[in-house]
């Protein structure tokens, strides 16, 4: 986790441009869906996330949490406002650079892992590396390291359907990390797992955050897990508000 602001600034400063601001930023972002019925999901949301920072997003079902992650990861565009990455407006980039950004800078862990069922754990993990045009030996080595890190070396050749829910989620995490992103976006990564497996996945994410220094935004319904991240934000009525530490302690003391 992010120990202090100085750390964030140092990491920002180390970027080639000498940029010192947030890693990713939403500025007055609104999102509406016109079909099948006009809906406004986000209303002028501001959010800044520093390098290495961990943020939990909570909110009721349908409040727009997945939509928010999609905007942060440039999987969707805002209806109004800006998404900035290291201070640069993402959607002013040409489409090919945007695709490259998603592939290289963002690790996305989907709510329902979206692994390819006909491929093995190892092949699923390697795929973003091949999409990026990396050399096969390099991708294979990185996949082997990640398999070891997630404790699945002995399941590498299993197909997705031959893995447990927790194992599938670990593969999805490794796939999200193969390109060594700066930002990991995790959509209810423990939501479909039993509490013990969920805890193990959460701990794995926290370890990766610390060892790789990557920023993390995690959507969760579990306040006990959320409270262990740097900040907890609640999405509701189209706006994002930070939950104060005392209120969070109270919420986390109630069983999830």
Ligand X SMILES: Nc1ncnc2c1ncn2[C@@H]1O[C@H](COP(=O)(O)OP(=O)(O)O)[C@@H](O)[C@H]1O
Binding site for Mg ion (CB under 5 A): 65-66
Question: Can you tell me whether residue 104 is helix, strand or coil?
Answer: helix
Q: Which of 59, 107, 128, 181 binds ligand X (CB under 6 A)?
A: 59
Residue nearest to Mg ion (CB): 66
Q: Which of 4, 61, 196, 211 binds ligand X (CB under 6 A)?
A: 61
Measured between alpha carbons, how far is 69 from 136 in angstroms, rounded to an integer?
A: 30
- On whether the CB atoms of residues 131 and 103 are closer than 8 A, the answer is yes
Cβ closest to ligand X, residue 79 vs residue 100: 79
Tell me the CA distances in angstroms from 156 to 163, 208, 242, one per residue in order: 10, 20, 40
Q: Which does 67 bind (CB under 5 to 8 A by kind): ligand X, Mg ion, none?
A: ligand X
State how far the Cα of 157 lies from the Cα of 241, in Å rounded to an integer. Answer: 44
C-beta of 17 vs 40, nearer to ligand X: 40
CB of 239 to ligand X, least distance (A): 13
Q: How far is the CB of 234 from ligand X (least distance, A)?
A: 11
Q: How far is the CB of 16 from Mg ion (least distance, A)?
A: 35
Task: State the minimum distance, in angstroms, from the CB of residue 66 to ligand X.
Answer: 3
Min CB(67)–ligand X separation in Å:
3
Minimum CB distance to Mg ion smaller for 66 or for 209? 66
DSSP-assigned states of every residue in 126-155:
HHHHHHTT--HHHHHHHHHHHHHHTT-GGG
Name the residue nearer to ligand X (CB basis): 10 or 39.
39
- 62-101 binders of ligand X (CB under 6 A): 62-67
Tokens describing residue 95: 């489409």
Residue showing tokens 């969920």: 198
Number of Cβ atoms within 10 Å of the Cβ of 100 = 14
Residues numbered 186-205 forming contacts with ligand X, rule: CB under 6 A: none
Closest CA to 150 of 114, 177, 128, 181: 177
Which residue's structure tokens are 């790789």?
212
| Cβ nearer to ligand X, comparing 195 with 236 | 236
Please say whether the beta carbons of 192 and 115 come within 8 A: no
Q: How far is the CB of 185 from ligand X (least distance, A)?
A: 12
Work out what residue 125 binds among Mg ion, ligand X, none; the CB cut-off runs from 5 to 8 Å by kind.
none
Q: In whole angstroms, how far apart are CA 1 and each of 44, 51, 202, 220?
A: 28, 10, 13, 17
Which one, 65 or 234, has the nearer CB to Mg ion? 65
Instruction: List binders of ligand X among 29-58 (CB under 6 A).
Output: 33, 39, 41
Q: What does the binding site for ligand X look like in residue numbers (CB under 6 A)? A: 33, 39, 41, 59, 61-67
């Amino acid at each position: 986790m992010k120990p202090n602001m100085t750390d964030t600034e140092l990491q920002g400063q180390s970027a080639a441009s000498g940029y010192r601001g947030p890693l990713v930023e939403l500025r007055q972002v609104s999102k509406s869906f016109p079909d099948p019925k006009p809906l406004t999901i986000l209303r002028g949301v501001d959010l800044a996330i520093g390098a290495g920072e961990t943020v939990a997003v909570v909110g009721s079902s349908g409040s727009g949490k997945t939509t928010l992650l999609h905007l942060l990861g440039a999987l969707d565009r805002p209806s109004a406002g800006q998404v900035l990455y290291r201070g640069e407006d993402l959607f002013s980039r040409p489409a090919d650079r945007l695709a490259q950004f998603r592939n290289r800078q963002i690790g996305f862990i989907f709510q329902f892992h979206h692994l390819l069922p006909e491929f093995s754990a190892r092949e699923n993990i390697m795929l973003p590396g091949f999409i990026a045009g990396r050399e096969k030996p390099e991708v294979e080595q990185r996949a082997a390291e990640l398999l070891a890190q997630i404790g699945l070396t002995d399941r590498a050749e299993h197909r997705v359907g031959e893995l447990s829910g927790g194992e599938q989620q670990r593969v999805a995490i490794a796939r999200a990390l193969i390109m060594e992103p700066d930002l990991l976006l995790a959509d209810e990564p423990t939501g479909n797992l039993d509490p013990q497996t969920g805890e193990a996945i959460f701990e794995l994410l926290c370890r990766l955050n610390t060892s790789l220094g990557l920023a993390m935004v995690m959507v969760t319904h579990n306040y006990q897990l959320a409270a262990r991240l740097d900040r907890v934000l609640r999405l509701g009525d189209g706006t994002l508000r930070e939950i104060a530490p005392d209120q969070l302690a109270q919420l986390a003391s109630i069983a999830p």
